């Protein structure tokens, strides 16, 4: 086995990268080759900017600080369908068009990515509409349930066999329906015109 101390490493700079690396026992393999430390054997194809003057490889974190490498690693969210994501795990990989690293607002169904502000914002119109729709559905369900429950006391009243409790229950349920119907009408109109 050859003594590692007798081996020289030579690199060929071309177009800003290490175009070739050759090892020899003593002299340069040819014009343009420059001697480098032995551990630079694994760096063929890498940009020369990633090395110091003595051809020692600069740490990736330092290259990112110097702006010589880009670190976009992390999760990216589709700005149209925020549930669609992908990961960048390597340095210098550029994000896909239409994706952002900004994390969507947690537990907020009504949001969109504002490209001018470069952040997720709440869609107040959609949120208000959804809240009105929920309120309308709840009111309709309450009225429907009250109308179902009002049948028994109403029949007792019609058949002249109502007790004071039947009359009290009828009045309570009838009042509930009458109080909620205007709000139902109002919400239906707002949702129709919005």
Q: For residues 36 and 11, is the Cβ–Cβ distance under 8 A?
A: yes
**Alpha carbon distance 45, 18 (integer Å):** 5
**Percentage of residues in the chain having pLDDT higher than 90:** 69
CA-CA distance, 6 to 52, in Å (whole number)? 23
Task: Tally Cβ neighbours within 10 Å of residue 74.
Answer: 11
The domain segmentation of the chain, as residue ranges, is 4-65, 74-121, 125-193
Report the C-alpha dihedral over residues 163, 169, 170, 176, rounded to 10 degrees. 170
Write the CB contacts of 147 (distance below 8 Å, at least 6 apart in sequence). Answer: 173, 177
H-type alpha helices, the chain: 60-65, 124-158, 164-193
Dump pLDDT digits (tens) for 43-88: 888 999 998 888 888 999 999 999 999 999 999 999 999 889 999 9
The pair of three-digit structure tokens given for residue 88, joined into one six-digit string: 């960048």
Classify burial at 19, counting beta carbons within 10 Å of its beta carbon; exposed 0-12, middle 13-18, buried 19 or more: middle
Q: What is the pLDDT of residue 43?
A: 82
Please give the structure tokens belonging to residue 21. 């690396």
Beta strands across the sheet bearing 99-100: 85-88, 74-78, 99-100
User: Could you read off the pLDDT tens digit of each residue along the chain, which spans 194 residues?
Assistant: 456 667 888 888 999 999 888 888 878 888 888 888 776 667 888 999 998 888 888 999 999 999 999 999 999 999 999 889 999 999 999 999 999 999 999 999 899 999 999 999 999 999 999 999 999 999 999 999 999 999 999 999 999 999 999 999 999 999 999 999 999 999 999 888 86
pTM higher than the cut 0.75: no
């Amino acid at each position: 086995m050859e003594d590692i101390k007798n081996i020289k490493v030579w690199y060929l700079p071309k177009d800003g990268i290490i175009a070739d690396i050759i090892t020899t026992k003593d002299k340069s393999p040819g014009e343009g080759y420059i001697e480098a430390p032995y551990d630079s054997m694994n760096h063929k194809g890498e940009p020369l900017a990633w090395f110091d003057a003595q051809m020692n490889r600069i740490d990736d974190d330092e290259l990112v600080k110097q702006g010589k490498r880009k670190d976009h690693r992390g999760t990216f969210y589709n700005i149209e369908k925020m549930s669609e994501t992908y990961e960048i795990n390597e340095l210098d990989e550029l994000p896909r068009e239409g994706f952002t690293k900004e994390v969507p607002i947690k537990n907020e169904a009504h949001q969109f990515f504002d490209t001018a502000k470069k952040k997720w914002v709440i869609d107040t119109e959609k949120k208000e509409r959804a809240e009105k729709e929920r309120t309308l559905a709840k009111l309709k369900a309450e009225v429907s349930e009250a109308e179902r429950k009002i049948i028994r006391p109403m029949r007792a009243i019609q058949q002249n066999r109502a007790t004071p409790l039947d009359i009290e229950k009828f009045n309570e349920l009838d009042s509930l329906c009458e109080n909620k119907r205007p709000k139902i009408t109002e919400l239906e109109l707002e949702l129709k015109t919005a």
